[in-house]
Structure 1
Amino acid sequence: MVSIKPFRAVRPNSYDVDQIASLPYDVVSKSEVLKLVEDNPKSFLNIDRTDVRFETEDADEVYELAKDKLADFMDKGWLIKEEEPALYIYRLLQGDRLQYGLVTTIAVADYADGHIKRHEFTRPDKEKDRIRHNDCSDANTSPIFLTMRKNSKLKFLLKKERDARLPLYSFDSFNDTNHCIWRITDPATIENIQS
Structure 2
Amino acid sequence: MALVKPFKAVRPTRDKVALVTTRSYDIYQKKELKDILRLNPFSFLHILLPGFKFHKTVHGTKRFKMVHNRYREFKENGIFESDASPSYYLHQKSYKGNVFWGIIGLASIEDYQNCVIKKHEKTLSEREALFGNYLEVTGFNAEPVLITYPDHEFLSSLIEKYRKTRAEYEFTTNKNRTHLMWLLDEEDEVLKISEAFGSMPSLYIADGHHRTASSNFLYNKMAAGNDEKAKELSKYFMAYFIPESNLRITSFFRFVNHLNGLHKEEFLIALDEYFRIENVGKQYYKPSKKHHFSMYLDGYFYKLYMRKSAFKPQNELDHLDSQILFKYILEPILGIHDPSNDKNIHYLPETGNEMQLQYLVDSGDFAVGFGCFPVSVEQLKTVADNNLAMPPKSSYIEPKLRSGLTIYELS
Partner of 2:194: 194
Q: Within 5 Å, which residues of 2 pair with 1:14-33?
A: 14-28=14-28, 32-33=32-33
Which residue identity does 2:142 align to in structure 1? T
TM-score (norm 1): 0.88
CA distance in 2, matches of 1:90, 1:39: 27
1:113 to 1:32, Cα distance in 2 relative to 1, 3 A: farther
- Structure 1 runs of 4+ aligned residues shifted over 4 Å read 29-32, 51-56
Quote how far apart the aligned CAs of 1:125 are. 4.1
Quote how far apart the aligned CAs of 1:56 are. 5.2
Q: Percent identity?
A: 23
Partner of 1:144: 145
Residue-pair matches, total? 193
CA distance in 2, matches of 1:126, 1:47: 20
Which residue identity does 1:21 align to in structure 2? T
Quote how far apart the aligned CAs of 1:48 are. 2.6
Quote how far apart the aligned CAs of 1:28 are. 3.2
Partner of 2:260: none
1:170 to 1:192, Cα distance in 2 relative to 1, 3 A: same
CA distance in 1, matches of 2:36, 2:124: 25
- Bigger radius of gyration, 1 or 2? 2
Quote how far apart the aligned CAs of 1:194 are. 1.1
Partner of 1:173: 173
Structure 2 residues without counterparts, runs of 5 or longer: 196-411
Partner of 1:112: 113
Deviations 1:159-192 (A, max 9, x none): 32443x3110000114210000000111110111
Contact persistence 1:20–1:42 (CA under 8 A): yes
Contact persistence 2:101–2:159 (CA under 8 A): no
Name the Cα RMSD after superposition: 2.1
CA distance in 1, matches of 2:106, 2:96: 29
Which structure dedicates a bigger proportion of its chain to strand? Answer: 2
Partner of 1:40: 40
57, 60, 82: which one pairs with 2:59? 57
Structure 1 residues without counterparts, runs of 5 or longer: none
3-state DSSP class of the match of 2:180?
strand
TM-score (norm 2): 0.44
Quote how far apart the aligned CAs of 1:94 are. 0.8
Deviations 1:6-26 (A, max 9, x none): 111110001111100100244
3-state DSSP class of the match of 1:171?
strand
Which residue identity does 1:107 align to in structure 2? S
CA distance in 1, matches of 2:71, 2:93: 25
Structure of higher RCO (CA pairs closer than 8 Å, 6+ residues apart): 1
